[in-house]
Amino acid sequence: MEKKNDAFAKLMNRLCRTSKYVGKHVAVIKGNIVVAVSKSQFAVYKMAKKIYPKETLGIYYVPTAKEALTALCNILTRK
């Protein structure tokens, strides 16, 4: 499980550093290949399934810096 968490953390780190993904949803196959990008989660799903109908894919939202900071502050201040 820890290996999967590390892989996800590395993927999100890479996506957050690429401005074309920030503030958008991405479809990922095989753990690290971005196959579709859109502001709409449903549009990403449709695009990805059209190209890769049999692949298992993950759909993730890549937060902006402000959104990521807000989420981190919320996590740290929970009691």
Domain boundaries, the chain: 2-77
Sole residue written with tokens 């993950």: 58
SS3 79: coil
User: What pLDDT band is residue 72 in, cutting at 50, 70 and 90?
Assistant: low
Closest CA to 60 of 24, 19, 10: 24
Please list the residues that pair with 33 across neighbouring strands: 29
- Cβ contacts of 15 within 8 Å, gap of 6 or more: 21, 22, 26, 34, 60, 62
Q: Find the DSSP H helices in 1-79.
A: 2-16, 41-51, 65-77
Quick one: what percent of the chain has pLDDT higher than 70? 84
What pLDDT, on the 0 to 100 scale, is given for residue 5? 64
Kindly state the average pLDDT of the residues 39-63: 93
pTM equals 0.77
